[in-house]
């Protein structure tokens, strides 16, 4: 199955989902309400808020930063980034149906937001060189078979002195414990995880200097465990299964297994062109 099918097949008919959202939220939906379908990564909305704040601190003196989210999914992080003062935000994703959903969710979002959504491959980006002040990849490099090409493209489209933030799953110390399906892949052929050491070496080899590398594995495991004990307070029946299909509970259980048994880890990197 292609990556486009994995994320997009259940979104060919989006009208029912959008009508349900519009009638449940006539005055618009906020980031917390949309999180079950637009935060398609481990750590949920909290992880995106942390990432946005990390980036905001780097961009602080910049009046109108151009920011790219490469592999933006349903746009949860994009909408948070669009709230940064003066930010000009672009999402790039391979999956056209997710991009359609992201734009539709922008119409519903409170506070109102404005952003650009582009369908394309982060390994061959449709952008001019030296264009962006910052690029984020949040759980998207994990689907890319050519991470070296994706990082070369980041370096090309990033302005000198720009910032790259990666919030990614990495291969853990016990990769043989890995169980599929997982939310980002039905099988090994769609999953492209690298160890922290390999990814760090790759970033440096492709021309980046790593400013910080934060291990979020323990915090993410705690987040994932909290999900099981959560009492369902949401009035909307939103779940990632609307995007990932009826196997989602098994995928989510495997995410917990893989974190617990050291098959995967979670890292956030802040890097700059060397």
Ligand X SMILES: C[S@@+](CC[C@H](N)C(=O)[O-])C[C@H]1O[C@@H](n2cnc3c(N)ncnc32)[C@H](O)[C@@H]1O
Tell which positions 13-52 bind ligand X, by CB under 6 A: 39-41
Minimum CB separation of residue 107 from ligand X in Å reads 18
CB of 39 to ligand X, least distance (A): 5
Binding residues with ligand X: total (CB under 6 A): 23
Find the shortest distance in angstroms from Cβ 245 to ligand X: 14
Whole-number Å distance between alpha carbons of 183 and 239: 12
194 binds ligand X (CB under 6 A): no
Classify the C-alpha dihedral 17-68-137-28 as positive or negative: negative
184 touching ligand X, by CB under 6 A: yes
β-pairing, 208-215 vs 264-273, is antiparallel
- Footprint of ligand X on 139-168 (CB under 6 A): 139-140, 143-144
Question: Bridge partners of 266?
Answer: 169
CB 59, CB 65: distance < 8 Å: yes
Q: In which order are the strands placed within the sheet that holds 116-119? A: 116-119, 88-93, 66-70, 132-138, 158-171, 264-273, 208-215
10, 121, 266, 270: which one binds ligand X (CB under 6 A): 121
Helix (DSSP H) and strand (DSSP E) numbers for the chain? 11, 7
CB of 149 to ligand X, least distance (A): 9
Of 93, 133, 153, 168, the residue at the interface with ligand X (CB under 6 A) is: 93
Q: Which residues would be at the binding site for ligand X (CB under 6 A)? A: 3, 7, 39-41, 71-73, 76, 92-95, 98, 121-123, 138-140, 143-144, 184
């Amino acid at each position: 199955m292609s990556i486009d099918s994995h994320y997009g097949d259940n979104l060919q008919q989006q009208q029912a989902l959008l009508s349900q959202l519009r009638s449940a939220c006539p005055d618009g939906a906020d980031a917390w309400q949309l999180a079950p379908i637009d935060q398609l990564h481990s750590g949920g909305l909290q992880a995106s808020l942390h990432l946005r704040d990390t980036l905001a601190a780097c961009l602080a003196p910049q009046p109108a930063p151009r920011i790219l989210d490469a592999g933006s999914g349903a746009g949860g992080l994009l909408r948070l980034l669009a709230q940064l003062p003066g930010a000009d935000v672009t999402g790039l994703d391979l999956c056209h149906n997710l991009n359609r959903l992201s734009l539709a969710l922008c119409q519903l979002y409170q506070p109102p937001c404005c952003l650009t959504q582009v369908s394309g491959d982060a390994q061959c980006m449709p952008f001019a060189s030296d264009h962006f002040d910052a690029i984020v990849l949040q759980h998207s490099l994990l689907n890319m078979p050519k991470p070296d090409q994706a990082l070369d493209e980041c370096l090309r489209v990033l302005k000198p002195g720009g910032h790259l933030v990666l919030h990614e799953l990495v291969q853990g110390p016990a990769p043989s414990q890995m169980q599929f399906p997982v939310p980002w892949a039905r099988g090994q052929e769609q999953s492209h995880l690298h160890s922290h050491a390999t990814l760090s070496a790759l970033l440096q080899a492709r021309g980046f200097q790593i400013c910080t590398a934060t291990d979020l594995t323990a915090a993410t495991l705690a987040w994932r465990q909290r999900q099981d004990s959560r009492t369902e307070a949401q009035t909307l029946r939103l779940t990632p299964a609307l995007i990932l299909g009826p196997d989602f509970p098994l995928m989510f259980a495997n995410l917990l297994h893989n974190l617990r048994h050291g098959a995967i880890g979670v890292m956030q990197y802040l890097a700059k062109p060397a």
